[in-house]
Amino acid sequence: MTEWSPELWKKKPALQQPVYEDQADLDRVVRQISQLPPLVTSWEVDKLKAQLAEAAQGKRFLLQGGDCAETFADCNSATIVNKLKILLQMSLILIHATQKKVIRVGRLAGQYAKPRSSDMESRSGHVYPSYRGDMVNAIGFSQGERRPQADLLLRAYERAALTLNFIRSLIDGGFADLHHPEYWNLDFIPLSSDSAAYEKIVTSIAESLRFMETVTETPISNLERVDFFTSHEGLHLSYEEAQTRQVPHKTGWYNLSAHFLWIGNRTRVLDGAHVEYFRGIVNPIGVKVGPDIRQEELLALTDILNPKNEPGRLTVIHRFGLHKVEECLPPLIDAMQKNNKIVTWCCDPMHGNNEVTEDGTKTRNFDKILQELKHAFRIYREMNAYLGGVHFELTGDNVTECLGGARGLSSRDLKRAYKSNVDPRLNYEQSLEMALLIAREMAQK
């Protein structure tokens, strides 16, 4: 492989990048960010990589989740608390089910840039650039709001720092006490046909926590510090370049804007700028793969992105959809096994299950999400491989964006609290229920 430096991606075609009117302005902002302190540290990044290496061997389980697109407006106390709360609660259910340590990775503190299917959006005779996330332009539909503004990169860096700062304080301050099912909102349980099974899991979690606390005479939150990591799609390469640093006494370049970054399904082209950028950073990275990936393509990506076959370096996040997972997943597992490639496998059951209601609302169905996951678990079992983790779009708030779940949300309910600007998320109850159902699935094997 050739020498690498953080700006080398510019020599390759870069998909999904905004076009700024003033290049000098963009350069100024990138320079400014590159002089600001990093958001995460290299030792945290290394720690996550070591944990993901264990997930590849089935010794840990990755729970990755958060918004499709974070917004600046949602950088507030309640939204952040609720997101952390649901992820911690889900992780506890998964620990209980798997008897494995769970790696918690939020899709947050930087998930501000989105790939779009079209560069322009037209509405009632007006055509303006598509919304590409709050780090690029604004959601409002006017020429001014949709114009990419370089300063928004700085605003994104700041929002990411504020979010992460609050999360670190919550965790240090014993917020992990929210682990206790006594604090959970379980009103949906009686509405479910599986309520008895859910009750059993929750009671047993509560009992084992109480048992541990009694034996050790220490609150559970003091027993082990909760690790929490951040991640986002490494889409906007100028933003990523600005936060790519060398660290004293270590070799290589770290992207210190997040612990984990992934390449999206639309930008994973072999000879493109994203793959070129990602091959050079030492962070653990992910690559999202959809139904059009071929075996040879994944092998080639693996060769470029993880030439030393280092465990924990590469997570393959597949997002095939319920109807394609059976056809698409086994050949990929097979290719990696035959070529002795070590990857951490992760199932994103969200992005292959998008649907549109009759009135044009983007949604996803709780049951299809769950079914895709169940198929994935079975396929890995049959092929003697490990599903190392799951990737969700979710929020801790009470939104109505996905159909189904114990409350049986219908397409009419979606209007009530549909807040996402991009993809629909599982709400608090749906997320908790999903974790309970995965727990049951994993316990049955």
Contacts to ligand PEP by CB under 6 A? 68, 115, 233, 264-266, 288, 319, 351, 423
Q: Which helix (H) or strand (E) holds 107?
A: strand 101-107
Nearer to ligand PEP, 312 or 321 (CB): 321
Nearer to Co ion, 171 or 350 (CB): 350
Task: Give the torsion through C-alpha atoms of 387, 389, 395, 398, to 10 deg.
Answer: 50
Does residue 108 interact with Co ion by CB under 5 A? no
Closest residue by Cα to residue 258 from 277, 244, 238, 274: 244
CA angle in degrees (0–180, nearest 5) for 259-101-182 = 105
Closest contact distance (angstroms) between CB of 276 and ligand PEP is: 18
* Selected range binding Co ion among 64-72, 299-307, 318-326, 369-377, rule: CB under 5 A: 64-72
Does residue 317 interact with Co ion by CB under 5 A? no
* Selected range binding Co ion among 269-277, 298-306, 402-410, 418-426, rule: CB under 5 A: 418-426
Identify whether the C-beta of residue 85 lies closer than 8 Å to the C-beta of residue 104.
Answer: no
Provide the terminal-to-terminal Cα distance of the chain, rounded to the nearest Å: 43
Nearer to ligand PEP, 40 or 346 (CB): 346
# residues contacting Co ion (CB under 5 A): 2
Q: Which helix (H) or strand (E) holds 346?
A: strand 344-347
**Residues 13-52: x where in contact with Co ion by CB under 5 A, - otherwise, as a string:** ----------------------------------------
Ramachandran area for residue 252 (φ above 0: left; ψ -120 to 50: alpha; else beta): left
Residue nearest to ligand PEP (CB): 264
Closest residue by Cα to residue 18 from 115, 97, 86: 115
Closest contact distance (angstroms) between CB of 434 and ligand PEP is: 17
Q: Which helix (H) or strand (E) holds 287?
A: strand 285-289
Does residue 68 interact with Co ion by CB under 5 A? yes
Does residue 423 interact with Co ion by CB under 5 A? yes
- Backbone φ and ψ of 254, nearest 5°: -105, 140
Nearer to ligand PEP, 33 or 68 (CB): 68
Amino acid present at 314 = L
Separation of alpha carbons 175 and 196, rounded Å:
29
Partner touching 375 among ligand PEP, Co ion, none, CB below 5 to 8 Å by kind: none
Does residue 67 interact with Co ion by CB under 5 A? no
Nearer to ligand PEP, 159 or 180 (CB): 159
Binding site for Co ion (CB under 5 A): 68, 423
